[in-house]
Every structure is written in structure tokens, then in C-alpha cells.
Amino acid sequence: MRSIGPSGAKSSGASPPWKRRPARPPEGARGRRTSRLGIEGRKILVGVTGGVAAYKALEIVRLLSASGARCQAVLTRSATELIRPESFEALTGRKAVWDLWASDTMFRPPVAFGPESKPIHIDMAQSADLFLVAPATANVLAKMAAGIADDLLTTAYLAATCPVVVAPAMNVYMWNHPATKRSVARLVEDGVRVIEPDEGDLACGYRGKGRLAAPERIALVVHEMLAAKGPLSGRSVLVTAGRTEEALDPVRVLTNRSSGRMGTEIARAFAARGADVLLVAGVLSVDPPDGVRVIEATTARAMSEAVLREGPARDVVVMAAAVGDWRPKAVSDTKLKRAGELRLDLEPTEDIVRALGEKRGKIRVLAGFALETEEAEARGLEKMERKNLDLIVVNRPEVPGGGIGRGSTEAVLLGRDGYREAIGLSSKDAIAARIVDRIARML
């Protein structure tokens, strides 16, 4: 079955492979998009060993790549008997490696030689944010547990200082063997996370425990582990997003054109960096990010209550929701009939940002938005002062090619410390990332 070996290896260029951008987007990225929390741009070394479930590693790599991770496959020689390395290359856009001694991948090319030059097993292991071995054979578990490093995968394991997770898969008797149990117990002692196999029908014809955990479950564990190791892990954040609606009668509401995209992207960016995020959501035209706790608050009053209750205990509060400034003084119990002119008596809603700015509590960074049509920056600075904010994001409802309710916009970040950063027309997720990175530096 095998058709490629060390002699057939193609030139790989510089190592480790994820230091180079793939020439084209990874195949998996074109598939269904999964949550990007904690995983976007993170480097995952995916070890694949010689178990019959090796083909399922392709789906794991596809899921991780689709979430924005940079995957590098490292196979054992037995794995290359069961699955072609090229399949991983197609999904990751990076050369899959398996030979410790392959001259083209062993070191970076001569141009990189110098004090920085390291053999691939060190470079690859040391640059990884996480090392996943799936499927992990009984043999590889035993070698890892004993510290045997006789191939690229096991040598990289010893050289890795990042979190390691293994997903064993094997025949039920192999799984139940005392030797395998010893290996697993030793790996757990060594700090390796073990994703236990599932029970069920096994490829070898037996039934019992030993089937590789579902690729989705493995990808989820990787997401969780990476998020937990993010630069903002341990920080708690509240983000408001979306628009509020104030009822006029049982069917009509007073509202605005905010989609909630900016706030949800900010929540997503915080979660991606490992923060514990609470999203106080008004009406959203987009899905809230996975892995973020959501409290619905679709009126100004409900949002005010939620924010003043939950906000003061957080490290960071970002008020990105478009809260209506007025609500009808009276709400009709019955549908208003069309009968000539209608005058609405409006009253101001709660000024949530101001109330929180006065209360503050434990909040280290309180950030808000100023959507202004003229003298935007001056008004933003004035609002930051008046409402006791630390950072304000000034933007305009309409900009050429973007604005409120659209996927992109322009923004200027202004800090109380005099910080100023102008961001030209960009997608809202890119702007969210810049806002979150700025806040992270303020903590």
C-alpha cells in the first residue's frame, strides 16, 4: 500500500513547516467553519501512529484547520503503511514528516544554519502550542511512557514542553492489557491528557473499549486546552452586543440597525485568548460565539440590570451593544390601529455606561463605543471622560464600504492614557482583535 518513503520525500523548504505560510489556504479551511475559540493561528503538532484509525486523523486535522489552527502532521513509519502522508499535506498545506533522518527535513536549509539552527524534532516540538497524538497505538503509548525516542514522533514528544494530549485506539484486549494500563497511568502522571477510547464495535471484529474517540470530541478537547492556555486565561470579561428593542405595542418595537457583529467578535476574540467571557446580548443578527456564556437582555432596562449585576466583578467590561436612548413612556396593551398621525411620548433609557463608570467595582478596563456622525474623535474623548472609561472605540455609522450592520468598518481607538490607534476599513473580526489586544496590554 505504501508508495512513498524517505527516498521519495519531496523537498520541504525551511523547517519547522508551520513557520512558512501554506501557498494556498488549507483544504480544511474551505469546509464547514467550526468555532475558532482559542485555536486560531495556534500551532498543533498532530502525531499519527500505526493504528487502523489513522484515517480518522484526517478528519481531526480537517476540523482543527477549519478552526484556523496551523497543523503539522508527524507520522510513525507504521502510520505511513496505513495512510499516505500526502493526505495530511493536502489538508494542512505543510509537508507531513515521519523520518528522523530524512536529510531534507532534518535541519533547516543551510541559509538558516547558525546559532538558531536546530534539528527538526526539536524545532517542531518547541514551536508547538500543543502536541496531539491521535490515534495513539499501544506501542507509542509504551514508548512515550518509558521515554523511548527511536523515531521522529517519539523524539519530538521528549523535546516538547507544550501540553500533550493522546487519544489511544486499539483492540479491547490490547487496551485492557496491564502493560497498556501502566503506560496510560504513567503518561497521566507525567501530565499528559488522555482522551479515553470509546466502547463499541472495533475494526478488528471485536466489541468493547478501544475505538478512537470521535474526532469532534478530540477537536473539542484541543480547543479547551488551547483556550485554557491563552494569554488571557484567568481573566473575566463581560461584553455587551446587539441592539435593544423597546416595545410600542405587542407587535411594534423601537430599535436600531446594529447587527451585534462587533460585540460578538470582541467576545470571540477574548474567548480565543482564554478569557472567561460573559456576553450580555441584546437582539443579535449573528450567532453568539461557542463557549461563551450568554445572558439575553433585549431592552435597555434588562441590559442595565444584567450589566450592573455582573459587570463590577469582572476584570474587563466592553460595552459594544447599541442600547436605545429612548423608550415609549407607555406601551399599548393592544395593537395600535392605523389612524392618521401618531405621536410617541419617549423617555430616556438608563445610561448603563455612565452607571457602571461610577460604580466600577473590580473593573480594570472599562471600554465603550462612540458612534458619531461628526467631530467623532473630539466627542469620543469627551464621552470617555464623562463616563469614566479607559478606552473608547470611535466609529461612524456609514463609511465607504462598511458601517453599522455591515461586516466591516473603520475605527479609532482612544485611551485615557493618550493612546490613539486609527484602523482603516477592516473586517469587524480584525478590528475586534486589535481592540482586545490593546485591552490585554492595559491589564
Ligand X SMILES: Cc1cc2nc3c(=O)[nH]c(=O)nc-3n(C[C@H](O)[C@H](O)[C@H](O)COP(=O)(O)O)c2cc1C
Active centre residues (catalytic):
204
Tell me whether strands 246-247 and 253-254 are parallel, antiparallel or unpaired. Answer: antiparallel
Q: Residues 39, 96, 145, 174: which binds ligand X (CB under 6 A)?
A: 174
The values of phi and psi at residue 355, to 5°, are -60, -40
Distances (CA, A) of 325 to 320, 328, 331, 350, 406: 14, 11, 16, 8, 22
142 to 171: interface string for ligand X, x by CB under 6 A: ---------------------------xx-
Task: Choose among 192, 190, 173: nearest CA to 134.
Answer: 192
Q: Does 69 bind ligand X (CB under 6 A)?
A: no
Q: Residues 138, 145, 306, 393: which binds ligand X (CB under 6 A)?
A: 138
CB of 212 or CB of 241, closer to ligand X: 212
Sequence-distant (≥ 6) Cβ neighbours of residue 151 within 8 angstroms? 76, 77, 98, 100
Query: Least distance from C-beta 169 to ligand X, angstroms?
Result: 5
Restricted to residues 377-416, the positions that interact with ligand X (CB under 6 A) are none
Cα 18 from Cα 88, distance rounded (Å)? 13
Please give the grid coordinates belonging to residue 167.
487519544
Query: Least distance from C-beta 22 to ligand X, angstroms?
Result: 26
Query: Least distance from C-beta 51 to ligand X, angstroms?
Result: 3
Options 43-51, 61-69, 117-125, 405-413: segment touching ligand X (CB under 6 A):
43-51
What's the one-letter identity of residue 74? V
Question: Binders of ligand X: how many residues, by CB under 6 A?
Answer: 15
Cα 177 from Cα 175, distance rounded (Å)? 6
Query: Least distance from C-beta 55 to ligand X, angstroms?
Result: 11
Query: Least distance from C-beta 52 to ligand X, angstroms?
Result: 4
Q: Does 187 bind ligand X (CB under 6 A)?
A: no
CB of 210 or CB of 415, closer to ligand X: 210
Query: Least distance from C-beta 92 to ligand X, angstroms?
Result: 19
Sequence-distant (≥ 6) Cβ neighbours of residue 340 within 8 angstroms? none
Q: Does 51 bind ligand X (CB under 6 A)?
A: yes
CB of 207 or CB of 309, closer to ligand X: 207
Radius of gyration of the chain measured on its C-alpha atoms:
27
Cα 8 from Cα 10, distance rounded (Å)? 6
The values of phi and psi at residue 238, to 5°, are -120, 130
Three-state SS at 196: coil
Q: Does 49 bind ligand X (CB under 6 A)?
A: yes
Cα 116 from Cα 271, distance rounded (Å)? 33
CB of 168 or CB of 368, closer to ligand X: 168
Q: Residues 39, 130, 140, 222: which binds ligand X (CB under 6 A)?
A: 140
CB of 91 or CB of 141, closer to ligand X: 141
Restricted to residues 231-260, the positions that interact with ligand X (CB under 6 A) are none
Q: Residues 92, 127, 139, 395: which binds ligand X (CB under 6 A)?
A: 139
Q: What is the DSSP string of 61-115?
A: HHHHHHTT-EEEEEE-HHHHHHS-HHHHHHHHSS--B--TT-HHHHB--GGG-ST
CB of 105 or CB of 139, closer to ligand X: 139
Cα 394 from Cα 72, distance rounded (Å)? 40
CB of 176 or CB of 285, closer to ligand X: 176
Query: Least distance from C-beta 229 to ligand X, angstroms?
Result: 27
Element (H, E) at 208: strand 207-211
Q: Does 79 bind ligand X (CB under 6 A)?
A: yes
Q: Does 50 bind ligand X (CB under 6 A)?
A: yes
Q: Does 52 bind ligand X (CB under 6 A)?
A: yes
Binding site for ligand X (CB under 6 A): 49-53, 76, 78-79, 137-140, 169-170, 174
